[in-house]
Amino acid sequence: MNPKLLHALEPRAARRRWSAAVSILGVAAGLVATPALAEGILGSKHDLSLVGPGPIKAVTETGVCIFCHTPHRSTGETPLWNHTLSSATYVPYSSSTLKAVVGQPTGASKLCLSCHDGTIALGMVHSRSTPIAMKDSVITMPPGPSRVGTDLSDDHPVSFIYDNALAAKAGHLRDPGTLNEKVRLDANKQMQCTSCHDPHNNRYRKFLVQENQGSALCLNCHEMSGWNTSSHRLSNKTWNGSGLDPWPRSDHATVSANGCGSCHANHGAGTRQRLLNHPLEENNCYSCHNGNVAAKNLVPEFNKLSAHPILDNSGVHSPNEDPLNATRHVECEDCHNPHAVSSLPATAPNASGAILGVRGVNSAGNLVNAATREYEVCFRCHADSLSRGRSSVPRQFVQTNTRLAFAGHNASYHPVVAPGKNANVPSLLAPYTAGSFIYCTDCHNNDQGPGAGGTGARGPHGSMYPALLERQMDLNDGSPENLTTYALCYKCHDRSRLLSDQSFPHRKHVQEARTSCATCHDPHGVQGQSHLINFNTYYVTKSSNGRIEFNRTGTFRGNCSLTCHGVDHRAQSY
């Protein structure tokens, strides 16, 4: 069994009884006990005396408090501070989204750093003329998690004023008046190391002031929209033991128990801004979404022929970037809000739980902070953005802005934003009707996902087909018509009905002349042409009357003027 899970299953009451028993035995023997969870400084790693439990301890010193405090000859810092203070200049935490003003450490944080920055000898106390000697020639705090150094940019910020003004400005911080009796600010209303850590009590490990299972400690201050109902808060998924441990710093065994710690590190973060565990943004998602915690492995999806290119950039994405015209990139967080994501199902065009809380652009072109329609998330990059890219097919009427292509005032469009205008579409397969909506992801999706009849992950992460298409759709003329060549079209449109020429002589064009569906039809939408007619100008040129033109003359009736594969159509009717 996973050792993390074993620890999680161990009854807490039993751990407390073990701790108490060890303490009693130690006192009876006249020794300092080493309980499993020290509820005082004795027996904790902060006990640096001769009989301290940790590897860092004094050679002969039996005093415990002396390493930090003294009744006489203190440094002048409260409370009766004894340890020599560091004169180091620190690199404080900074971030493009930080609203607090963070400077050099003050108050209790400055006192903690006198040992934990690694610049001052552990035995250097103000009340002694010579330093207290430490075992094994240890002088300063040895390298490791406890030595935070002087670069604090990868640590949770400290020594900043946390008041109502900051909470209002940040938008995701709680009113400091709601802090519980354990999480405290100092007399200057500053957040300090001691807001989260009690140096005299290791009951909750790492000297935390309270149990942090489910990020209970973090949630005293942080209030992320959507978190209470998110999968990352509620999921009881565990690590299967394969690959790298997703929670190497934690004793907790489930996604819900690790909470914020699944992605963030309070100290020694891999990404300094926003304190993510790993330097590469996608690795913070991959640590669970590689099939070893989450059910589906997303890693290979982004290496397919066509994929959202999250691997192309690093360190570019920021939550406060220009939502429309930032430096061209895409990261997982552009489509998924990790604080709000859930398994909530939805029907088109509504946003599913997978993209809840993500910024988007609505059909009017306005930015929305939380998309309620799936297409709004897609429109952020594939509509008004100046770097939205180009069409896969050269068109008679060029429109690369998908918001405008799907607009409800157009003559024709696939019903992504608005219900379709054509009430007579005999080729539609159940359950689709002329009044149905569809998602962008009904066409753009994983070629091995459920929509394609596979068992892979849902979503447009990657596909073996160009343009992130879920199924094959041959864009070039010349391919023999079959269920595979135009599998994407045949997902919704009945092949036999199309080739029976109920609405148009498709058999002659698609099957006999081997003309691609994409040569005549633009799958997004066309402003002034019905039936999605927008010719591929690589194959279609002007007819002898000088036109490239389609005219609808009635139900299932029309005429074309064009030249295709050397055949002149001069207002040719069907």
Q: At residue 406, what is the residue type?
A: F
CA distances from 274 to 153, 263, 317, 539 (A): 10, 10, 11, 51
Which pLDDT belongs to residue 35? Answer: 42
Q: What does the pLDDT read at residue 4? A: 58
| DSSP class of 66 | G
The per-residue pLDDT for 388 is 87
Asked whether the bond before 349 is cis by omega within 30 degrees of 0, the reply is yes
Q: Could you give the CA distance from residue 411 to residue 404 in angstroms, rounded to a whole number?
A: 12
Domain boundaries along the sequence of the chain: 1-34
* Average pLDDT of adjacent 10-residue blocks, the chain of 574 residues: 47 36 32 52 95 95 97 93 97 96 98 98 96 96 96 98 96 94 96 98 95 97 96 97 96 97 97 95 97 97 97 89 88 96 96 96 97 97 91 95 97 97 93 96 98 97 98 97 98 96 94 96 96 97 96 93 93 92
Check residue 12 and give its pLDDT. 36
Helix (H) or strand (E) holding 286: helix 281-286
DSSP character string of 381-392: HHTS-TT----S
452-460 long-range contacts (CB < 8 A, ≥24 apart) are 456/296, 456/301, 457/296, 457/297, 457/298, 457/301, 458/354, 459/335, 459/354, 460/308
Tokens 């408090």 map to which residue? 65
pLDDT at site 2: 54
pTM for the predicted model, two decimal places: 0.88
For tokens 């509620």, what's the residue?
A: 234
**pLDDT value at position 567?**
93
- Distance from C-alpha of 264 to C-alpha of 271, rounded to nearest angstrom: 9
Q: Is-contact 238 344, C-beta < 8 A?
A: no
